Amino acid sequence: MNVDILLFDGFDELDAVGPYEVLRLAGRHGGDIAARLVTVEGVAAVEARNGLRVRTDGHPDDNADLLLVPGGGWNDSDAPGVRREHERGVVPEFIADRHADGVTVASVCTGAMLLAKAGLLDGRPATTHHTAHEDLSDAGANLRTDRFVDDGDVLTAGGITAGFDLALAIVEDHCGADIAAAVATELEYERAI
């Protein structure tokens, strides 16, 4: 399974790096899974919400099976992040196109607002960071307060650390329970689900 984690300026570090580490560790433990850090524009580096500069792997891969979208910056329209990408529209359009091509789409935290803008959450169960619950509901999603929601071809995780649970569920589904358990043990992470 190939996973592209879609970065943009202002993304929340842990929303992307947490699942990235889970997925990469699963590959090291023998799982048939790989993760890349990509941007729509294919830029070489982006700056995250708290100042971490991240080198990317370039453009998204046409062979990706899953596109993971982090959150960050929804509640601050003056800074780079989800709110700015939501208004700009390029990232939501890309997400919609990838989903239409048959790619499963997942979000962590307020990345769900980009999925909503892409039209993927209309009437569907979804979750996000608690500070955006009302916004997600207003955007047409069937709001759930679960740690993460699996609705088949669209997965959403609540706030920040819920990305670990989402990524571990993906690993378990695609690589098996033993590999997911080995990754959780290596991370010393006690799964919430």
Q: How confident is the model at residue 191 (pLDDT cuts 50, 70, 90)?
A: confident
In CATH terms, 2-187 corresponds, of 3.40.50.880, 3.30.1340.10, 3.40.630.150, 3.40.630.10, to: 3.40.50.880
Of 49, 53, 122, which is closest to residue 92 (Cα–Cα)? 122
- Compute the distance between CA of residue 30 and CA of residue 136 in angstroms, rounded to an integer: 37
What are the pLDDT digits (tens) for 18-36?
999 999 999 999 999 999 9
Q: How confident is the model at residue 176 (pLDDT cuts 50, 70, 90)?
A: very high
Residue 113: enclosing H or E segment and its boundaries? helix 111-117
pLDDT of residue 81: 97
Mean pLDDT value across residues 35-58: 96
What are the pLDDT digits (tens) for 117-161?
999 999 999 999 999 999 999 999 999 999 999 999 999 999 889
Residues 98 and 154 sit within 8 Å (Cβ to Cβ): no
pLDDT of residue 61: 84
How much is the mean pLDDT over the chain? 96
The full set of domain ranges for the chain reads 2-187
The 10 Å CB-count burial string (b at 16+, else e) for 88-127 is eeebbebbbebbeeebbbbbbbbbbbbbbbbebbeebebb
pLDDT of residue 96: 98
Residue of 109, 112, 171, 180 marked active site: 109
Percentage, residues of the chain above pLDDT 70? 100
Q: Say whether pTM exceeds 0.85.
A: yes
Bridge-based pairing of strands 53-55 and 45-47 is antiparallel
Main-chain phi, psi angles of 33, to 5 degrees: -150, 140
The alpha carbon torsion through 135, 14, 56, 93 (nearest 10 deg) reads: -10
User: In this model, does residue 193 exceed pLDDT 80?
Assistant: no
- Compute the distance between CA of residue 112 and CA of residue 69 in angstroms, rounded to an integer: 8
Q: How confident is the model at residue 77 (pLDDT cuts 50, 70, 90)?
A: confident
Residue 169: both structure tokens together: 């569920």
User: In this model, does residue 192 exceed pLDDT 90?
Assistant: no
**Known catalytic residue: 175?**
no
